[in-house]
Amino acid sequence: MRHLKAGRKLNRTSAHRKALFRNMVTALIRRERIRTTLAKAKELRGKVERTITLGKKGTLHARRNAMKLVADKDSLKKIFGPLAERYASRPGGYTRVIKLGHRLGDDAPMAFIELVDREGEAAPKAPVKGKKQAKAPAKKATAEKSSDAKKKVADTAKKKDAGEKKKAPAKEKKETKAPAKKKEEKKAKDEKK
């Protein structure tokens, strides 16, 4: 029985597993989003969350403990700087796992693991309490957008049709010129003989 034996082995030795997660934590901190298998992403989640919590503490002891899981100093500075400030008011849940489907080669379930509130991501707007938002203008705006989109599609379709009509005669002319040239070449050869 596996009492108190938490964590996935991932078919690796303990040293290989430790190196794998150290590299993955560093990559996730640096890039803020990585693609990996679902099992690795779920296992990585706890390690990254623990490391970011250490960054929020900001003490020398926390920095030394974080160095156990982070491979380079630039990522460590990011944890104790921008990430600690970004997640100062968040009591946990710094990552999310998004399932992607299965890998083509071996059918392994794949996933993105990413930090929430990333730099490239727009922060969700909090609804304003006490004020009712006008929904009617929003509907008009979407109706205008959809009609503009329909007009653009129709215009591009017309342009494509006009372009195809222009191209078709040009092809025919080339085809008609080619046999004429061949006939002339044959006549020239016959005359030489």
Determine the pLDDT at residue 118: 82
Coil vs helix vs strand at 56: helix
Write out pLDDT tens, residues 90-137. Answer: 999 999 999 999 999 999 999 999 999 987 766 555 555 555 554 544
Residue 49 has pLDDT above 50, yes or no: yes
Q: CB under 8 Å to 103, separation ≥6 — which residues?
A: 37, 109, 110
Q: Is 48 within 8 Å of 94 (Cβ atoms)?
A: yes
Determine the pLDDT at residue 189: 73
Say if pTM beats, i.e. exceeds, 0.85.
Answer: no
Residue 181 has pLDDT above 60, yes or no: yes
Write out pLDDT tens, residues 3-24. Answer: 999 999 999 999 999 999 999 9
Q: CB under 8 Å to 115, separation ≥6 — which residues?
A: 28, 32, 33, 48, 83, 94, 95
Determine the pLDDT at residue 191: 74
